[in-house]
Structure 1
Amino acid sequence: MGKKIRVLIIDDSASVRQTLTSVLAADPAIEVIGTASDPFMAAKRIQEDIPDVITLDVEMPRMDGITFLRKIMAQRPIPVVMCSSLTEAGSETLLQALEAGAVDIIVKPRIGAADYLAESGMRICEVVKSAAQARIGSGRSARRPVGGASPQAKLTADAVLPPPTGKAMARTTEMVVCVGASTGGTEALREMLEQLPGNAPGIVIVQHMPEKFTAAFARRLNGLCEMEIKEAEDGDTVLRGHVLIAPGDRHMLLERQGARYYVSVKSGPLVSRHRPSVDVLFRSAARSAGANAMGVIMTGMGDDGARGMEEMHQAGALTIAQDEASSVVFGMPKEAIARGGVDRIVPLDQIAREILAQDRRR
């Protein structure tokens, strides 16, 4: 067993502090070193003992979580995971937190809901472990991975994908860009999409985010980028100049009917410990689009998307991985590279250029 990830929980609700403590303490790679009911108590705890990761409530007395987050990032950057209720209004605030330097988002566990708690508890622990490996602050100095617990058993995308119907259809004039990202992906996606013109190829994205937050994320990007961006709905057509983002807590598959590509949005089990799963999108793209697709895997912890990218590569798609230097967490790209499914490894600021170059080549 390696060194445990030391976590400080900041929340004004005693019941939430207790539940989060129980969830995190159940993971052998995590140790809760303390709790605080507001940022002032938390500041004193941090002076005494610096945690590896902080979970931070948004709404608290005396000082709100966003203000405290900005102070942490300005004075002593520590990986911060924002914790919020599952509301549309809260999702807008949490996007501000991600802009201010938060690593990721978790939803407050529903106390007493055993089935929900088991699944949400898995995500909470995964996010905290990802945060512990994140590169934060202006220097983006790499953090040494901590914690030595074995990963939990995972379902593959076969649990969601329909049986294959044969080879992908022949090359068409349009290509579809399939993108997967996790920890650090919200800001990385913004940077990439802001560089693309309004007539860029159609893009479908899986970003690991909780339910409710993907709609607000899509609206934010739509206001910043030239392309039209929305949260995907079942049956949406993939069109040039448009971006579809998988809704939180739903898988998204790429399908084809004649010359038309569209997405199928469905429920299902966690795949690679995620819903939506990058593997589900990538493997469906390999089957439905083949060489008409382009795969892009970006910052994030774990191996979600690695198998799917390998299948896209084998089906003739061009595959791109974000490089280590520009990744907040070089987990998902690293695993995809290790499987041999990546054609090119490029910095974040060159991914948009690769997409446009491939479009011109076609």
Structure 2
Amino acid sequence: MSSYVEVPQAVATAPAPAPRVPARDRYFDFLRALALFRVVLYHLMGWAWLPLAFPSMGVMFALAGNLMSRSLKRPALQVVRGRMRRLLPPMWLLGAVGITGMLAQGWGPGSEGHPAWWWGHLLFWVVPLSDPPYAAGLPGIHHVLGDNWGANLAEPLWYLRAYLWFVLLSPLFRAMLRRAAWPTVLAPVALCALLEFVDLGLPGRVDSALTDFATFGACWILGMAHQAGVLRKVPGYLVPSLAPIVMALGYAWAVHGGYSVTGSTELDSIPLAQALWSLGSVLLLLHISPSWAQWPAPLRRWDRVITLLNSRAVTVYLWHNLCILVAATVWDDLWSIHALAGAGKFLNSSWPVLAVTWFLVGLCVLCFGWVEDVAAKRAPRLFPV
């Protein structure tokens, strides 16, 4: 007997329901995409006011902490292992490309003064509990890659190191939030102040890791606290009243440290100011947290771009610095073309370099982004939009 069962036409042709995106997640996806765009823009343009306009790193850590807190409804060891599995393979691919290139240009065991140290430090390219080593001062590739490209390749890796430590400590943060929420949120800021005023004489690797933890730890823990409902217990008027004060304190300390929106001192070089400004900004952004049942009209046209940036956030962040260097190198070489001698104003502009940078970032997403799918145990896709 045939097993065929006729299905009514109305049911047979009904379209499959679209995947449902939680309303608040749309807002968080928008913030993450905006943060990534701002990071690329800042690293190319160098405008000192951009970290004030939108503190990307604080926002990215807060969103990651929020997601981590949501995931910790499952067993902690399983969650930590899953986060590490998603984080590390894209870095391993970057390391495979970067280390191969650095070795080809003569980098090796003698570079750090002692071969055993070099081999030991290479393990930080596997698990970045500290800064992975790189070859400083390498010559570039003519017409393609500028000098000192190894430093540009490794510069974004501090974020992965800080992210990994936050992931490992998140089960402890969660337990502390249940006992004393706001002291736990503010503890990294207190540590940042201690590091600002007291020289603890720590080794360089330890000091850099502890400074990054103190600078952005409050944002990560605040993201966890938001997911746990801590902000909902605060009177509605309190956050909009206190957050600007925290930001003002951060700005005042930044000015005290030599920062100005037109100067050469970056906000990132003043950790306590960065910590306070980021904490205040993240407080406001999480307090707003609109529930977008659908994208607001101005953002609907950007839906696919926002989705792509969120799906390939690690790839974009890891490769964007190298893309900027390649774009700037290629663009500078245009000055040698005689036919473009009269286009000095155009060649001096950084906006075309930004366009070339994003084109190269797109190529990196095509070539390397699939690793994020494999790490997440999904079917690899070229453009997950």
TM-score (norm 1): 0.23
The structure carrying a bigger strand percent of its residues is 1
| Structure possessing the higher radius of gyration over alpha carbons | 2
The structure carrying a bigger helix percent of its residues is 2
TM-score (norm 2): 0.22
